[in-house]
Every structure is written in C-alpha cells, then in structure tokens.
C-alpha cells in the first residue's frame, strides 16, 4: 500500500458572492484546524468508482461506474464480484452507481445497487437487489424503475436507509427536462422513499394526492450526489450540484419543495439567467450554497473516535474543488474547513468506516480507495 502524507495548509477556503449569497452571510472558518492528515491508498485501479459499502468481515463492496462490483479486502486485495444488473447504460455520467447493504444484511445478505438502465426509447434510474453469497450476486432482480427520461447526465442514484428500514433514493433530472422537478406526477428531480421491495410506504407525503407519484419524499431537486443521515440527531442531509454556481447543502424534510428550477443561485452554463429568484415562500432555502461551483459528491456525517474534533460534522467530497470539505452546521450558521487540498484528485464518495476512519473514492479511470488518518 502507498502512504501519502498531505501536509498542505488547511485554512478554510470560502467560496462567496458578496452581493447576495447565504454562503457569504453565514459561513466562517472552523476555529479548530484538523492538522496534517494522511491519505493511505487501500486499493487502486478502480474504473471510476462511485459507491462504497462495508461488509461485516471488514471488506468493502465498490461499484465501478464503467465496470462492475469489486470486493476490496481490508488488506486492499481486489476481487470482481460475479453477477449484477443487466442492461446498464455505461455512457457519460451513467453506469453502475451507488451500493447499500440491507439493514438485515447479517440475516439475508441482500445488497442494493442503483444504476442507469438503457431502454429502446428512454433510459431510467433503476434499483437492483440481489443476495451476496461467496463473492457473487445471486437471485438478483430489478425491484424499482424511475420515470423514463433521455440522456445519460444527472442520473442520481444515491441511497440511504432510514431507521424504519425504508430506503431514500435520489433521482436526478437533466436540464432540458428541469421543469419536471416541480411536477409531482413523475420521479425526476426527486428524493424517493420506498420499502425494501421497491414499493411506496403508506405514510409517504403524497400518497393520498391524486396524480402524484406515491414514492416521492421531497422534490424541487436537480443533481444530488451526496445523501446521508445522522444517526445521532435524525437529520437527513442532501447536497446538490447547481448548473454554473448554486451548489447547495439541504436538510431534507418529508414533503418539502427545494425550489429547482424556480429558485437557484446558479446560472445557465452559457452564463444566462435561469431565474432572478433566490428564495420564495413555500420553498426551502439551502442551509448554505457554493458559488462558484465545487461539484460536491459523496457525504458522511462523522461519528467516531479517530477524529474527536469532527464529531457531528459533515464531510463532503468535491469533484471540481478536488478536496474534502468539513462542514459544521450550528445555531451560529455554517463553518467550514478544507481538507486534503492540492491532491489533484476528484473525490466521488466519502464514507465513514466501522473503524472510525474516513474512506474516499477518487473519480478517475484509474480511481482509488483511500483511508484518511491523522499524520500526528
């Protein structure tokens, strides 16, 4: 394994718009700097790794967007897992996406994999479930398919289980179809809540509304690649990629509307105006936003012993920013610290391991699984 100490300065890098951003008004530097860290390569040679789940034996399952599912042992040995979903659209941002273990994995061995499924006339985000058994995915089937859409961008796919064993699943929306994020008749631009069979629970917020998709949990989203629940507080966090600026951190609430594309701090990629509105009654403002864009991807809530000062903080990977951002949300606003900057590696996923250390996936054709430790 390769150990690389990262000893660049860790002063917080703040992205702000002086005129009108919640970031400028509410974000400050975290007072207690983390100090030098080490990013240890557990495994490399992963083809655009996207999602990560920890097995009870200390190994990990990693999805490769352009490949398959790989088992990585605690010692870094890689083994390709046989089986998996068929009809995967491996194009652009699409492919195999997130992976999650069933809450009762120790009893049933079930694994969930989100992926973009190619169709003759349209593509759609799909959820595959199989049993992990002796290095293979067996008895697999697709248990849920989202609304059809074209193209391969903004697939969504991030997942998080809730304490009641229901699953949150994010479905993205391509910009040409952006108005669908406000349309409750489809899944695009939504966080969905389904049970372990892919069905909508009876207490979902729009089950009783005529014409609404019963799986919807929240709406008005664009392109989220980070979803995490804080087991200590119950808070559910989602971050989103804006277009040109306007990347957001949101706290999810059932039935809430997060505004896209009616309100946003972002602009068209061409520089044109999407909307002049930054806030509107009945729509939830972001906890903070980042302009210019930093393309957040992956997120974990830190609860562990390895980094005591991080307790309760969010750790967010940045694709464009090529760093990890430590974010603390409190009554006094939002404070941040930049970690692992200067590496030149796009961070795709951030996970908290059962050992209390933080694990990262880097987005590249020769991607890596990293373990973050203190260098002291």
Q: Is 152 exposed, middle or buried (0-12, 13-18, 19+ CB in 10 A)?
A: middle
Q: How far apart are CA 159 and CA 179, in angstroms?
A: 23
Tokens 């796919």: give the residue.
Answer: 157
Q: 143: part of which helix (H) or strand (E)?
A: strand 136-145
Contact present, 65 and 366 (Cβ < 8 Å): no
Contacts of 308 (CB under 8 A, 6+ apart): none
Q: Which residues pair with 370 in a beta bridge?
A: 41, 360
Tokens 């040995």: give the residue.
Answer: 77
Measured in whole angstroms, the distance separating CA 242 from the mean position of its chain's CA atoms is 14
Contact present, 214 and 200 (Cβ < 8 Å): yes
Tokens of 179: 């108005």
> Among 251, 247, 273, which residue's Cα sits nearest to residue 262?
273
Catalytic status, residue 154: yes
| DSSP-H helix ranges across the chain | 22-26, 105-108
> Among 336, 326, 328, 334, which residue's Cα sits nearest to residue 358?
326
Of 154, 187, 221, 239, which residue is the catalytic one? Answer: 154
Tokens 């389904």: give the residue.
Answer: 194
Q: What is 278-326 written as a DSSP string?
A: S--TTSPPPSEEESS---EEEEEE--SSTTGGGTT-EEEEETTTTEEEE
Active site residues: 154
């Amino acid at each position: 394994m390769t150990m690389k100490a990262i000893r660049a300065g860790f002063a917080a890098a703040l992205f702000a718009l002086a005129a009108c951003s919640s970031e400028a008004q509410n974000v400050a530097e975290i007072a207690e700097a983390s100090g030098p860290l080490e990013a240890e390569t557990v495994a490399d040679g992963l083809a655009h790794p996207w999602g990560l789940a920890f097995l009870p034996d200390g190994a990990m399952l990693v999805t490769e967007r352009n490949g398959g599912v790989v088992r990585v042992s605690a010692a870094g040995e890689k083994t390709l897992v046989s089986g998996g979903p068929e009809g995967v659209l491996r194009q652009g941002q699409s492919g195999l996406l997130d992976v999650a273990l069933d809450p009762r994995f120790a009893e049933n061995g079930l694994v969930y994999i989100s992926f973009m499924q190619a169709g003759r006339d349209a593509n759609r985000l799909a959820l595959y479930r199989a049993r992990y058994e002796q290095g293979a995915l067996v008895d697999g089937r697709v248990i849920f398919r989202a609304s059809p859409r074209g193209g391969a961008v903004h697939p969504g796919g991030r997942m998080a289980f809730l304490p009641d064993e229901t699953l949150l699943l994010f479905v993205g929306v391509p910009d040409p179809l952006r108005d669908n994020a406000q349309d409750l008749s489809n899944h695009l631009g939504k966080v969905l809540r389904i049970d372990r069979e892919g069905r909508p629970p009876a207490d979902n917020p729009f089950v009783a509304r005529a014409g609404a998709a019963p799986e919807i949990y929240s709406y008005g989203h664009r392109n989220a690649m980070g979803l995490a629940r804080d087991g200590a507080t119950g808070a559910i966090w989602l971050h989103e990629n804006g277009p040109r600026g306007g990347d957001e951190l949101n706290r999810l609430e059932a039935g809430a509307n997060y505004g896209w594309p009616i309100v946003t701090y972002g602009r068209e990629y061409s520089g044109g105006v999407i909307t002049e509105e930054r806030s509107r009654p009945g729509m939830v403002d972001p906890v903070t936003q980042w302009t210019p864009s930093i393309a957040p991807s992956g997120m974990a809530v830190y609860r562990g012993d390895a980094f005591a000062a991080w307790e309760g903080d969010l750790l967010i990977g940045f694709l464009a920013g090529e760093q990890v951002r430590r974010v603390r949300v409190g009554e006094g606003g939002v404070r941040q610290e930049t970690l692992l900057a200067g590496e030149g590696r796009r961070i795709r996923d951030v996970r908290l391991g059962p050992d209390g250390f933080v694990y990262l996936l880097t987005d590249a054709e020769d991607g890596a699984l990293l373990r973050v430790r203190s260098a002291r």
